[in-house]
Amino acid sequence: MIIHLNSIRFYAYHGCLPEETKIGGNYSVDVTIETDFSEAAKTDNLNLTVDYCDVFEIVKKEMAIPSKLIEHVGRRIALSLLNSIPRIDAVKVCVTRLHRR
C-alpha cells in the first residue's frame, strides 16, 4: 500500500552558484512511501503505520543541510527515511525547486 505526502514546502539553500546558497529559494518535496498499513486502517492505530510527523521532521532536517545538487538532497532524504522508520518498505522522493515570480 502507498502513502503520499505531497508539496511539503521549504525555504532552503541549495545550488551550485554562490548566490543560491546565500539567497536560498523555495522548494517542494513529494514523498511516496510503500508500507503495509492494513492493520492501521482496520484499527485506527497510529503505531501500526508511518507517522507523517516523523516523515516531515526527517525531510525538514535533510532540507536544512545545504547541497549543490537537489539529487543529493533527495538521496539523503530517501536514505534517512529508510534508515529511521523501519515500517517503510520502499520510498520515492521528488525535490523540486520552485521558480521565483
Give the chain's radius of gyration (CA, Å): 15
Residue 86: φ, ψ to 5°: -60, -25
**Three-state DSSP class for residue 83:** helix
Q: Which CATH number goes with the domain that contains 32? A: 3.30.1130.10
How many angstroms separate the CA atoms of 14 and 30, rounded?
17
pLDDT on residue 59: 98
Q: Digits of tens for pLDDT over the chain (101 positions)?
A: 999 999 999 999 999 998 888 899 999 999 999 999 999 999 999 999 999 999 999 999 999 999 999 999 999 999 999 999 999 999 999 999 998 65
Q: Find out whether 47 and 35 touch, Cβ atoms under 8 Å.
A: no
Task: Note down the domain range covering 38.
Answer: 2-97
